[in-house]
Structures are given as C-alpha cells and as structure tokens.
Structure 1
Amino acid sequence: MNLKDYFDNTEGTGILATADGQGKVDAAIYARPQVQDDGSISFIMLDRLSHHNLQTNPHAAFLFLEAGGRYQGVRLFLEKLKEDTDPELIAQYSRRCPVPEGDPVKEQKFLVTFRVNRMLKVLGGDSPEVSMG
C-alpha cells in the first residue's frame, strides 16, 4: 500500500494513541498524516497531552477508520523520529487555512515525524500485515 496515495485520497477519522513514560495512555482524534518521501509520516501537534507523552515515550499508534461504516482502514505502529517548530515548515504541511498573526487562539505548533514500524488492517488482530510497498 502506498501510504501517500492512501491518505491523500481516503476520507476517514484518525485516532492517535500515546502513553507517557509511566504507561498512562491517551487517545486523541487527529487528521490524516502527511506522508514524507522516505515513508515516514508527520502530524502537526499542539502542546497538549499527546505531544507531552511523546517527550518521554517515542512510541505511538495511529488508527485510521475509513469513512463509510465498513470498518476498513489501517493501524500504524509508530516511533517518533524528530520534531520541528519552524512556523514556515509547519505552514507548508497545514491542510487548514492558516490562523492570522496576532490571533489569540494561535498556539505553538510542532511538526512531529514518525517512522512506521508496522502496519495492520483495522480488523483482524492476527491478520497479515498490510504491505507498505
């Protein structure tokens, strides 16, 4: 499966699960990730619980459930590679309209990039892995 084509062309709901260094788990709704040329994926994050958890535990899981009620999609098992705070870089990856300068809701954003270690279908715990090629 080509993740770039998949996320560029498939509507649905994503949930990012993280845990802190003590193992306390969080799950949050996230937009589809941006897929890099090297196969890594990136999310724009605010400095909230998911981002905080990644400071002490670089592992996460992203469940993407395709729209349409068919229980199709993918589960990605991730490992944080890096993060960036450059506003111009983050703006390049933003699918939404940028927030105007001076807007009080504008918060520090992070472009967090992950390696995809494993990919499975949404259903079928012991189903074969989805090919990432």
Structure 2
Amino acid sequence: MATPRLMEYFNRQPRIGILSTANRDGKVDAAVFGSPQMTDEKTVVMALGENRTFEYLRENPSAVFTIVESGKTIADWKGLRVYLWMKEYATSGEMLETYKKEVARAVGDEAAKMVHAVVTFEITEVRPLVDMGQGWEGSL
C-alpha cells in the first residue's frame, strides 16, 4: 500500500495538512497540522496538545490526514487522503519525552511545552485528493 514515494511526499516540508477525526457520536473535527511524520511505510507519528482532536481520537481511533498542494488551476491541485488508525498514544514516559526533545530542537521550547501526547497511527488506506479512478500515485 504505502511506498517510499509516499513517505517522501508525506514528510516533505514545508507542508500542512488537515487531520479529520470524529467522536463516538459522529461529531466531526478537522484541525490543521504540520507535524505528522511517516516513520516507516505503514506508520505515522504526530504530537498533539490536550485538545478536541486528542479527545476524539481516544473515543474513535479512526482519522484522515489530508494533504493539499495548490496549482495554477483547480485541475492542477495535488494531494492525498491518508486514512489512519490510532494504535497507541503516550501522555508520559520515554516516548513522549523523546518526542518533546525533538520538537524543542526543531521549533523551540515553547512549542515543545504545548505537546500533551505523542500518537502513533497505522496507515490503513491511501486515496487521491480527488478520486477520478486513478490510484493515489497518479495524483502526486
């Protein structure tokens, strides 16, 4: 499913995307994130604050990370929808402290202080931004 090409595209900076979640009752949330990183061809890791996104993921571990790149015309826009399943999260311990140190080194201590949890997702599906019957690789 995922390939080194997807990993390169997903991790390219600068970029932002939208993480969409829903709670157990189906109430939807969408939030902008720049921090998610693919660590291997099936895993995404990201930092979260103590917020609605994290609350909803604890109720319903399904999410979608949408990456959008604008083009000259709407037909030139590119992107992906990466479907995720939260496997685990840490609000304390070595995994969280290691991630906070990386955040502090990359963007500063103030950003690291806002990190409440580090979340690990499994990629379950990848689809193009606009699904016109081509595979996701045709949309990059």
- Gaps spanning 5+ residues in structure 1: where? none
Gaps of 5+ in 2: none
What are the equivalent positions in structure 2 for 1:12-91 lying under 5 Å apart? Answer: 12-37=15-40, 39-66=42-69, 68=71, 70-85=76-91, 86=93, 87-91=96-100
Per the alignment, residue 117 of structure 1 pairs with 124
Alignment TM-score, normalising by the size of structure 2: 0.76
The percent of aligned pairs where both chains have the same amino acid is 26
Q: Cα 1:10–1:128, aligned 2, differ >3 Å: closer, same or farther? A: same
Distance 1:38 1:7 in 2: 10
Query: What is the letter of the counterpart of residue 98 of structure 1?
Result: D
Q: Partner of 2:109 in structure 1?
A: 98
Task: Report the CA distance between 1:33 and its aligned residue.
Answer: 1.4
CA RMSD of aligned residues (A): 2.5
Query: How many Å apart are 1:107 and its aligned residue?
Result: 3.8
Structure 1, residues 28-55: CA drift from partner, whole Å, max 9, x if none?
1011411113530011000111100011
Question: Retained in 2: the 8 A contact 1:83–1:110?
Answer: yes
As a proportion of its length, which structure holds more helix? 2
- Contact 2:35-2:47 at 8 Å conserved across structures: no
Deviating runs (4+, > 4 A) in structure 1? none
TM-score between both structures, scaled by the size of structure 1: 0.80
